[in-house]
Structure 1
Amino acid sequence: MPGSQSGLSSIFASLVGAGQPLLVESPTYWGALLAAENAGVQLIPVSSGPNGPDPVELSKAFDRSGARMFYAQPNFANPTGAQWTAALKEQILAVVRRHSAFLVEDDWAHDFGIESSSIPLAAADDSGHVIYIRSLTKSVSPSLRVAAVITRGPARDRILANTAAEAMYVSGLLQAAALDVVTQPAWNTHLRSLRSQLSARRDLLISSLHAEAPEAQLELVPQGGLNLWLRLPEHTDLKLLTQDCLRAGLAIAGEVNWFPAEPAGKYLRVNYAGERSAEFPEAARILGEALRSQ
């Protein structure tokens, strides 16, 4: 696939279809919401907190909606950073099997485990209910738009047919470059260095926020991934906050929609992957002052 976004579009278009229901974690990755909306599917939110979704609520959502697919990020979810426990993965997979449905596992952060490893839920699936998607774009380079979708049977055939109609194939040159990267001995060294840097940057951003912007509450210290999910005071005007921060030299994604339905509160996702981590304390200071000015 030419990137995981293309894979999501093909999955939703070929296996859900316009007007049909799709269960999604709420909050979730905005790109998945965009792909689903472009496919014309009906989004059904399933609330997901710091520990992931509630299997009972997921089952009820399947029953109420008649949906046959659930899109989720079991490892280091974007934007919350949540990681499902092994027990929760088993429970969720059991719900999906019981409803004869598919679970689309977006393992975008597979290579970004810090204190915890990303063990795919697909590894426990022996009956074809999990559609697994993973990309190399964030691990290697934004220019390397190469992703894989792993599934089987008729679902695989329908996804392939849709992909052939939309994008034909991934450039052979890009595929060769991707293969060369991941088969080099230096690949594992790169991943170790990447995780070490992410750990240091995450901790620096957390300490900076605690010191300079205590109004922004961190509900979960993620064990991997790239993001922190901050709960802001209820009176926060996100549009005004975005403008005030930008005037002070800080760009934030204050108006990005992470929710397929109305949000439960005011939230902001911040990213700790940037190489200019020395500027985190100043960024936190700007955010804190902007919050206190409201």
Structure 2
Amino acid sequence: MDFRITDLKNFVEIATSRTMREGADKLGITQPALSESIKRLEQDLGEVLFYRSRSGIALTPGGQKNLKLAREALASLDSLGANRAHGDSRLITIGCHPTIASYFLPKAFRAIQKENPSYQVRLSHDLSRTIQTGVQQGMIDVGIVVNAVPSPDLIVRQLAQDEVCIWRSTHVQDQVTDKVFCNLALFQTQALLRKWKDRPANVIDTDSLELIVRFVNEGLGYGIVPARAVALLNAKNCERVPKTPAFNDTISIVYRPEFGKHPAEKAIVENLKKSVK
């Protein structure tokens, strides 16, 4: 069974607290975030750790037993950490759509590698809504999310703006006009298709935004993609279709309140922020 170290640390820190609120204040995180952390640990252990009442919290017999084990486990990890120069080999999972990753990660990784080449990073690629869910569930440490949904359990910091538009080839006379290439899994695409008057009936679905840009650039049809994706590929034959709708996107970095205290975590967050300047 895998446990999140943060959950163990939160459990140990609040074991002597009278209430969840007191424990959250001690840790410097929100009460909902702490409650979720303890709930996740209880699910991992298959055991209730605290009695909860209006008067506060108290350790159950199982909680007392696991508190001793958690302290021993963290002490062992501290011993391992003492053998590292700065404890920077912590594995961090970054989640984002693969196209979004292309916008920011190369520049961010260059800075990270320069600061400390021992950072261990795992990348997880999916739609933004799936990435945010992964962050909320503790499966992903930090996400780069398009149009993140506000949540009291998450820290959301805006990185950049983008615009999803309808594109065509600059060689209009040579362009195929009965096809539109797009990713139907994106709600931005669905919104634009509904608003686009006299659009082509032949809609071709693909989850590759890069491929859509290349199709448009070659004059094979219209495409619905973000402006940043077109700029990234330097698609000089692509232009916005006049008098068609667009969808404004906000790209944010999303992580749980307990993330960012470890030096490697803090470096990841800061370099992701700097990568868009």
TM-score for both structures, normalised by structure 2: 0.24
Based on CA coordinates, which of the two structures has the bigger radius of gyration? 2
TM-score for both structures, normalised by structure 1: 0.23
